[in-house]
Amino acid sequence: MGDPKGFLKIKREETGYRPVEERIKDYNEVEKELSDKERQLQASRCMDCGVPFCHWACPLGNNIPDWQDKVFKGDWPKAFNYLQETNNFPEFTGRVCPALCEASCVLALNDQAVTIRQNELDIIEKAFIEGYLKPKPPQKRTNKKVAIIGGGPAGLACADLLNQKGHRITVFEASDALGGYLRYGIPDFKLNKKIIDRRIDLLKKEGITFKTKTEVGQNLAVAEIRKNFDALCLTIGARVPRDLPLKGRELKGIYLAMEYLEQQNKIVRGDKISKQKLITAFNKQVIVIGGGDTGSDCVGTAIRQGAKKITQIELLPKPPIKRTEETPWPLWPKILKTSSSHQEGCTRLWSVLTKEFQGSEGQIAKILTKKVEWSDHKMVELKGSESKLKADLVLLALGFTSVVKNNLTKDLKIKFNSKGNLEVDSNFMTSVKGVFAAGDSTRGPSLVVWAIAEGREVALNIDQYLNEL
């Protein structure tokens, strides 16, 4: 490493966020930037570890110490070369990945971890800005064609690698734009959608064909796809939402989180939404049920819409601030997370069970809750702990369960695993020869970094399959 004792002299410095009073007035990205000099100092904290556990924790196996060293030395092009060897889209992971690598940083044993995610983001942004990331179409083409169904991060990563191998790739996306939940699930204040468009433009220039508003099995026959392509890859995600079918669920004003977030992302894009269909938190008391990242995104969005009050409730107990013996280093720690949205203002409640939705004239007005205790991972409702929370808008941020079973999966006669997702073998091939699958559609709801990693893995297996035809 350039400075093997950098971690002894330099303290961790994060970019931080724009002032709350400023950022809640817009949907621009909240995270700030450090100067090149400050970023180089942060990179100097990466130690000359005997065993860099950041490799182990990162699903992509990013060569983190290598590009940290180049950042410290100011060799940004070389840092980018190392980074792109393992990560197709650092501009995505650099913004929304929870940084599994940092939790396993050796320095985190007794100090604050190296700023890996933010350094990664600076590398890729400098590559775009300074122009050493340019379209590189393959010099030779094979006569093999692959259809990728689903334009989220797994599908895009698969398309990128197979295109680099020289195969002709077409990505089919049912929505009106590419990116999957990156586009419609994550708010612009965390990921500006121009970042996705910038990458798609690059992939187009490298020869990948994209077809949006094309739902295979609906407005494009599965038989036609099978006839015209040598292999298929399904990266259709796990889109069945987890609902809360309680008494009063039919009341107006209760929405799934993705209904809410997708609509707001479209409004930010410039779409017009009719008054009848508009979901807004303006001047309302908002309850967000679900304590994860999606719930946090709902909080930040509701704040920007002008909510009167926001309460986020979580069924599980409040996590500890620091690691416990249950999640020792280098495991991912189950600790309290406070997002930029939480900092903007909301009440957070833990160990709260939602019992019933109550309304007036068909509109949600209150939710009935009860406190619970957890012992040996078992939940016990506490007698006499009933409470009512006022609610004009309720957002269900409870995650997803499995793949949507539709004409595509039906016509392919594809098998599902015990969790309701697509069953694949060790080569990522489904029960149908020549049809592969990866990402959330096989592993269930997960992180963008896992989607990219599996997109890369399935691409290598598809390439091998094609070469053996």
191/110 Cα distance (integer angstroms)? 32
pLDDT score recorded for residue 50: 87
Are 53 and 59 in contact by the 8 Å Cβ rule? The answer is: no
Q: Worst-scoring range by mean pLDDT, 50-54, 96-100, 302-306?
A: 50-54
Neighbours of 381 (CB within 10 A): 12
Return the CATH fold of 145-239+401-467: FAD/NAD(P)-binding domain (3.50.50)
Ordered by start, the domain boundaries in the chain are: 6-130, 145-239+401-467, 243-398
Q: Which residue has the tokens 């598809």?
A: 462
pLDDT score recorded for residue 5: 87
Q: Which residue has the tokens 């909301």?
A: 346
326: nearest Cα among 360, 276, 376? 376
| Fold matches, 145-239+401-467 and 243-398 | yes
Say which amino acid occupies 351: S
Contacts 24+ apart (CB under 8 A), 130-134: 130/76, 132/77, 132/80, 133/80, 133/84, 133/202
Tell me the mean pLDDT in the region 116-142: 97
Which of the four pLDDT bands, split at 50, 70 and 90, describes residue 216? very high
Are 309 and 325 in contact by the 8 Å Cβ rule? The answer is: no
3-state secondary structure of 243: coil
Tell me the mean pLDDT in the region 361-377: 96
1/28 Cα distance (integer angstroms)? 36
Q: Which residue has the tokens 């719930």?
A: 295
Q: Which residues contact 182 (CB under 8 A, 6 or more apart)?
A: 92, 96, 152, 153, 191, 196, 448
pLDDT score recorded for residue 72: 95
3-state secondary structure of 173: coil
Tell me the mean pLDDT in the region 378-406: 96
Tell me the mean pLDDT in the region 78-93: 97
Question: Please, what is the average pLDDT of the chain?
Answer: 96
Tell me the mean pLDDT in the region 151-161: 98
pLDDT score recorded for residue 2: 63
Q: Cα-atom radius of gyration of the chain, to the nearest Å?
A: 23
Q: For the residues of 51-91, what is the DSSP string, one character each? A: S-HHHHH-TT---HHHHHHHHHTT-HHHHHHHHHTT-S-HH
Which of the four pLDDT bands, split at 50, 70 and 90, describes residue 3? confident
119/130 Cα distance (integer angstroms)? 16
Number of H helices, E strands in the chain: 19, 16
In this predicted model, what pLDDT tens digit does every residue of 435-464 receive, in sequence order? 999 999 999 999 999 999 999 999 999 999
pLDDT score recorded for residue 7: 92
pLDDT score recorded for residue 309: 98
50/425 Cα distance (integer angstroms)? 35
DSSP 230: S
In this predicted model, what pLDDT tens digit does every residue of 266-284 receive, in sequence order? 999 999 999 999 999 999 9
240/11 Cα distance (integer angstroms)? 44
pLDDT score recorded for residue 4: 81
pLDDT score recorded for residue 376: 87
pLDDT score recorded for residue 364: 98
Say which amino acid occupies 59: P
Return the CATH fold of 6-130: Fumarate Reductase Iron-sulfur Protein; Chain B, domain 2 (1.10.1060)
pLDDT score recorded for residue 209: 98
pLDDT score recorded for residue 39: 96
pTM above 0.95, yes or no: yes
CA atoms within 13 A on the CB side of 141: 10
Give 231's strand partners.
146
pLDDT score recorded for residue 377: 84
Q: Which CATH architecture has domain 243-398?
A: 3-Layer(bba) Sandwich (3.50)
Are 422 and 414 in contact by the 8 Å Cβ rule? The answer is: yes
Tell me the mean pLDDT in the region 374-382: 93
Structure tokens at 124: 């890729």
Greater confidence (1 vs 316) lies with 316
Say if residue 241 is preceded by a cis peptide, omega within 30 of 0.
no
CA distances from 430 to 172, 229, 433, 434, 435 (A): 19, 16, 7, 8, 6
pLDDT score recorded for residue 1: 62
